[in-house]
Structure 1
């Protein structure tokens, strides 16, 4: 029973940490261009790095 006194606050702290990280990512613009990476893989750009 005493382990619950440790695990419950730990779980709440980890949840708040995850929520804080999510809000930080929202504010810093991490979720602005969700379709950009999906469309970039379809582009055929000749980089000139490899053999023709």
Structure 2
């Protein structure tokens, strides 16, 4: 039963850290453009070692 007195504050600390990271990501516009990353896999990148691209 004494372990519960340790686990509850540790769990609260984890929740506070996760919430802080989430709000930091929202404020720094990490979730601003979600469609671009999903469509990047559909287009080929130009190869740099191709002679016609130089």
Matched residues, number: 50
1:38 corresponding residue in structure 2: 38
* 5+ long unaligned stretches in structure 1: none
Q: Distance in 2 between matches of 1:45 and 1:3?
A: 54
Q: Distance in 2 between matches of 1:44 and 1:9?
A: 49
**Higher helix content, 1 or 2:** 2
Q: Which runs of 4+ in 1 moved over 3 A?
A: none
The RMSD of aligned alpha carbons is 1.4
Say which SS state the counterpart of residue 41 (structure 1) adopts.
helix
Note the C-alpha offset of 1:44. Answer: 2.4
* 5+ long unaligned stretches in structure 2: none
The two structures have a TM-score, normalised by structure 2, of 0.80
